[in-house]
Every structure is written in C-alpha cells, then in structure tokens.
Structure 1
Amino acid sequence: MARSSFLFTSESVSEGHPDKVADRISDTVVDLFLAKDPEARVACETLTTTNRVVLAGEIRGKGIWEDGGWAPGVEAEIEAAVRAAVKDIGYEQDGFHWRTFEFSNHLHGQSVDIAVGVDSTDTKDEGAGDQGIMFGYASNETPELMPATLAYSHRILRKLAELRHGGDTRLEPDAKSQVTLYYEDGKPVRAASIVVSTQHAKGLTQAQVAEVVKPVVAEVLPDGFITNETVWHINPTGIFEIGGPDGDAGLTGRKIIVDTYGGAAPHGGGAFSGKDPTKVDRSAAYAARYLAKNVVAAGLADRCTIQLSYAIGVAQPQSVHVDLHGTGKIDEAVLERELPQLIGGATPRAIREHLKLNKPIYARTTSYGHFGREPDADGGFSWEKTDLVEKLQALA
C-alpha cells in the first residue's frame, strides 16, 4: 500500500552548471544542423573544463558532412554557434570566457552500420537508432502536471537567472537548488528544507547571498509552504566564487534526472541533449511524456507512468506499459492498446511527424527541464500539448 505522508526531494541545476553548459553546446550543434537539413543525424557530446570546450560524436546531413568531410564553412559556423551559446549563458570569467576558451571539434561522419539500421527496415519505416527503454510521467501536483519538488526547484533557478540576466551583478551563472517537501495524503503541503548554492561576485558574504535568494524562494513556493520549521541551506560552504567549467568539468547527459522528473519517476538511462530526434532516447521519451500528460489532463488518473521500449533498426515499439499508480479511472490495458495508435503506432518516424520534432528547437530545452514547459509557437515543447484529451476521455 502506498504511503500517504512522507518527505520527498528533487534538485535542479542552472544553465551555468558545467554539465548544463555541455548540454547547451551539444543541442546548439543539433539545432545548427537541423536548420540546414531536417533529416540530419547528430550525436554530439561535449566536454567543458577550464577555458576549454571539446566536441566529439557522429554526424551526417546535406550541406553538413558530405563525401567524407565537412561542407565548406560549416566548421567555422559550429565554433561561432558554440561561442555564442556560452556568451548567452553569461560566461566572461578568467577561467571560462566565451571569447577565449580553446575549442576542439572532433565530430566525424556517422557509422555506416548505424545508418543502415536506422534508415532501412523491412517495414520501410525507419528503425530506432538504438535499443532502449524510455519513460514518461505526469502528476496533478502542479498546473504543469509535474512533480512539485522539481517544478519549484526549476523555478527558483529560473528566477535567479532572470535577475542575473536583468543586470544583478551579485550573481554568476553556476547554481544548484534542492527542495524537500512534506506530503500529507499524497499531496505536498509545506517545505521541510530549501537548499540553494549559487555562484556569486567576489567578496559577497553568505548573508548577502541569502538576501538575494530568500525572496525568490518565497515568491516561487505557494503561500504557507515556508514555515518556522523550514530548514534553509544557502551556500552552505560559505563561499562560491569559482564555478562553472572552471570549478568542475562538465559533460553532456549527466543531469538526466534534473532533465526529467526529479526522481519521482523511472528513467531509462539515455540522455536527451546532443541527439537528433531519430534517437528514441530523446523522441520516445518526449512521446511518453506527451501521452502521460494527456492521460492526467483528461482526468483519467492523478498520476501516470508510461514505458516504451525499442530495438535498434526496428520501427515498432517492443512494449508499451502504463501504470496509473492506483489512481486510474480506466483500465490500463486499454491505454496500452490505444495510446500508441494516437501517435501513429509510436514508431520513430510517426513520433517525429506527430510532434514535429525535425526542427531547431532543442537548445532551449537544456535548462530548467525538458518537461513542464509551455509549448512554443514555433513548435518547441510540442510534447507538452494536451490535444489528445477529448480522444482519451472518449475511451473511458
């Protein structure tokens, strides 16, 4: 029997965290290539460290990588786009500066063995780019149908970033947050503890940082969540002047729980950033979230977890599993049968076409979560739409 009263914690990291810098760079490359060729294949990994950025991975695409080498001018475009991304984050520090970091590009052509598996199947529909399991989740804890602990952790850092981008010179790009909530009868009711560590300007005291952070947290959390019993840890080490890639190395794909559901749901293990949407690690995880969110938005359950699985080179999913966590108003087996049909059978191509994923819409996903966001007019976060609600309600 599920517990009704408990503590639960989720964390977030800012756009200036070294791993998030790496994610942003990798998806900047994805966007650059998809803008040139919507059918481009991209698997871009990034390493960031003190005044250095290194790219590695496999790519192909018209006007990008042809006849075993780079199309004219593309290498210079890549470097310019990467530097612009780092500048946008805000890094102009001695140990990591958008203008002066050393840049190395080791991207190369995609393996022909992988290309064959993805592009040619018996069904004439493209196969999955790799085997794997993907999860989607939704909960009615918040308006965006996300776990409250993660939603609030993201919002705290977004608000701090808005202050910094708005000219607050006390803050620097690297930051982390962690929210622990107490749940009663399965619903969040108050904050047990708040942890925020933010890089700051030289000479600021812990108390001065708290003067910036506490009003932001108070604005983000619902009224009454902060009480006299709430425990605060703001820059608990006392000083955080050296941060970002100068403080710690960053790698693409190391913050997958921050990117998804904050630990409230399973994760298949595959990262999203740096991958074009033929990779089911990305596209099928988006599809699973899309379906789960619509199930909850339709009022068919308070919580929904969906698992999809794939085999490399095979178009059809190997399995579809739905768990409504005892809150469902519909037979889970019905959803397992019907949900894939709402998105063309949940093949990689059907997912890409239904959600219109072959667009340069990915750099924006790399900070503050891939889920729980508002759909953009240009197609970004299309997996957050709730346009299946009426069809799902008709099943009940």
Structure 2
Amino acid sequence: MSEATNYRTAESVSPKHPDKLCDQISDAILDAHLAEDPDARVAVDVAGGHGTVFVTGEVTSRATVDVDAIVQRIAGDVEIINRLAPQSTEIAQGVDIGGAGDQGIMIGYATSETPELLPLEVVLARRLNQELYEHWSYDGKTQVTLDGEYIVAVVASFQHASHDELQNVVEVWLDEQTIAPVADDVALHINPAGDWRVGGFDADAGLTGRKLAVDNYGPRIPIGGGAFSGKDPSKVDRSAAYIARKIAVDYLKRRDAHEVFVRLAYAIGYDQPLEATVIVDGIQEQASGYDLTPQGIIDALQLKRPIYEQTARYGHFGQGFDWD
C-alpha cells in the first residue's frame, strides 16, 4: 500500500447485525403505531442479545400493537421483556403546542461524487454489503478504504461464508462495480478473524441507535449526535435530520455544487430553529424557503406514515427516500 495521501474509510453492516436488528424492531414498533394512529408519540429503544430482547421507552398512542409479534418476526424465538410506558407529561406539554420534542443539532449533507449524493466510501461499503447479503443473508460487515479515488483496501466478514467463497464474490464485485477504480495492490481482508457461523444475537448484544455513522454519512462527515430509529417525527433529532438532508440535496442541485453541509439546531418546546445554516462549497449562508417548524417538516415530508422500518436496514440517506 502506498504512502497515505488522501485516505478515507467507511463501513456498512448487514440487516442481521445485532445493532441493526434493534433498530428495525424499534422502527417496526413505531410503524405499527403510526399505521393506526398517525399522531402517536413513540420513542422505543431495544437492547437484544443471547436469547433476550428488552424493549423500553415511551409510547402514547391510540393504537393496539402486538410488540411480541414484531420482535419475533425480526429476532426469532427470544424471551421478550416489555417495559414501555406513556410519554412524560412534561415533555408532552412542549410538543402539544408545536414545539420540538427535544433540543439538539442536526446535520444534513450532500455531495455530487456519487449518484446517491453520498460520500464515495460510504456508497462503496454499502453496495458491497448489499451484494454480499444477497448471497449470505446473515450478520456481516464490510469496510472500504480509498486513497484519493482508488479502492486500496476492502474488509468483508460474513456469517456462514467461507473465506474462498466470500473472496470470490468480493473480487467479482470489485471487477464489476464502475464508480471507483481499484488499486493494483488492493488489500483484501476476507473474514480476517477466521470463518464464523455464530452471529447476530447469538454472538453479540445490540442496541438501538448504536450505528450512528452508518445511519448518517460515514465517519468523515460530522453528525449531530441523535439517533433516529424508534422515534416519531415530533422528535426533531430524526425529522430535522431528514429535512436537513433534503435542504442539502436541494441546494446541491440548485447551485450545481460539489458539496453542501446543513446545520439545524432546536430547543425543546420551541418551534423555530435556533440555527439554520447552509454551507455551499465552503460558503456559508442562511437556509431559506423552508418551514422548519416541527409541524412544517412533518407536513413537507409526510412523516406520520409507517415508512421507518426500511430506513433501519442500510442507513437513512441515499436510498430514494422522500428526503433524498
């Protein structure tokens, strides 16, 4: 491998990774509530592992949801501990008048370097993961390192995949993908800890919201810090992150730009953003032309629909969602 000049790396995890299982359970419970009650207040966190799934959080909803059935559909035959409670009245009083459900900073990003308008290393790691998941629909991870535009290293670890079979699929994918050249001395790390058969909740514990960089824009791009899954759109750490992505995409296309960052900030119980900054190819300005109140965001993106479980599989951006 040559001396580093412009290295960047991103990873992706499969839908059967323990953290992603928890994300999907959280969002499936959210979807089930929104399907019956679009005004449901939902904040569901899940911890799972070694035969047990613990569901906790706050739900205020008119819907009747079979939480156990949702968990079993996604996680299989596990013991389920359900500790859901109603939303705090002190939080609700600020949301009821149209205010944000929490304080926080939300980041939006878009770049012209890929069709998905995401960083190249993120797209490559995700596409490879999706390809491998087609062959082995189990727990797995991928990682791609670039030096400039060249792929110089690939890591692939997948449950139930033998080293030789996995390497063959990775090599074919590298030959067939067309968005990045491959270095002559590309390093392949295929099941580098050895072939493995025990994965998912049988091998490791998972938590909702633990794959923040995977869910966002990869490790090069700052994130606000809030997780997405399990939260209804009154929680601006989800809904405002989605509108921030839309603003970034809109400005990128409108200005024919290379890179756009968006920063939004909110206070709990207050409906207007404290900051709405757009940085277009390094030039900062105020975002304009958007209703950035929580209700305005919800209306613009139609966020009271049961659309969230699919976002919890491979990331929340660059997959053709309404905010992309």
Query: Which of the five TM-score ranges fits, normalised by the shorter chain?
Result: over 0.9
Matched residues in 2 for 1:42 and 1:211: separation?
44
Paired amino acid for 1:363: E
One of 103, 106, 109 as aligned partner of 1:137: 109
Which residue number in structure 1 is paired with residue 78 of structure 2? 101
Correspondence for 1:81 among 64, 67, 70: 70
2: CA distance, partners of 1:198 / 1:299: 41
Amino acid at match of 1:196: A
Q: Give the letter aligned to residue 27 of structure 2.
A: D
Deviations 1:51-110 (A, max 9, x none): 21110000001234xxxxxxxxx3xx2211222233xxxxxxxxxxx1x21111111111
Which moved further from structure 2: 153-162 or 8-17? 153-162
Change (3 A) 1:196 1:298: same
- Give me the CA root mean square deviation: 1.5
Render the CA deviation track for 1:257-301: whole Å, top value 9, x for unaligned. 000101231101100001001100100000000000111122342
Instruction: Return the letter of the residue paired with 1:222.
Output: I
* Contact 1:42-1:276 at 8 Å conserved across structures: yes
In structure 2, C-alpha distance between the alignment counterparts of 1:240 and 1:321, rounded to whole Å: 46
CA drift at 1:221: 5.0
| Residues 41-50 or 299-308, more deviating | 299-308
Structure 2 unmatched ranges of 5 or more: none
Partner residue, 2:230: 274
- Does structure 1 retain, via aligned residues, the 8 Å contact 2:141–2:157? yes
Matches of 1:21 and 1:337 in 2, distance apart? 36
Matches for 1:1-396 after TM superposition, within 5 Å: 6-64=6-64, 74=65, 77-86=66-75, 98=76, 100-120=77-97, 126-163=98-135, 171-183=136-148, 188=149, 190-200=150-160, 204=162, 206-222=163-179, 225-326=181-282, 332-333=284-285, 336-338=286-288, 342-344=289-291, 346-374=292-320, 381-384=321-324
Shift of 1:172: 4.8
Q: Is the 8 A contact 2:54 2:83 kept in 1?
A: yes
Relative distance call for 1:282 and 1:337 in structure 2 (3 A) is: closer
Mapped to 2, the partners of 1:85 and 1:298 lie a distance apart of: 41
**Counterpart code for 2:297:** I
| 8 Å Cα contact 1:135/1:267 also seen in 2 | yes
* Contact 1:46–1:252 (Cα < 8 Å) also in 2: yes
Structure 2 residue matching 1:25: 3-state secondary structure: helix
> SS of the residue aligned with 1:343?
coil
CA distance in 1, matches of 2:254, 2:220: 21
For 1:61, the aligned partner's letter is S
CA distance in 1, matches of 2:151, 2:245: 27
Structure 1 residues 217 and 44: alpha-carbon distance in aligned structure 2, compared to 1, 3 A threshold: farther
Find the aligned partners of 1:60 and 1:84 in 2 and give their Cα distance.
Answer: 23
d(CA) in 2 for partners of 1:172, 1:159: 10
CA distance change for structure 1 residues 49 and 355 in 2, over 3 Å: closer, same or farther? same
Task: Report if aligned partners of 1:196, 1:234 keep a CA contact under 8 Å in 2.
Answer: yes
Once residues 253 and 18 of structure 1 are traced to their aligned partners in structure 2, the CA distance between those partners, rounded to angstroms, is: 11
Classify 1:231/1:253 alpha carbon distance in 2 versus 1 (closer, same or farther; 3 Å): same
Report percent identity of matched pairs: 44
Inter-CA distance 17–220: structure 2 relative to 1 (3 Å threshold): farther
| Residue type of the alignment partner of 1:85 | I
TM superposition shift of 1:245 = 1.2
Q: Distance in 2 between matches of 1:146 and 1:36?
A: 34
Larger Rg: 1
- Give CA-to-partner distance per residue, 1:136-160, whole Å, 9 cap, x none: 0001110111101001111111112
So what's the TM-score if we normalise by structure 1?
0.78
SS where residue 110 of structure 2 aligns? strand
CA contact (8 A) 2:252 2:280 kept: no
Looking at structure 2, the residues matched to 221 and 300 of structure 1 have their Cα atoms a distance apart, in angstroms, of 23
What secondary structure does 2:197 align onto? coil
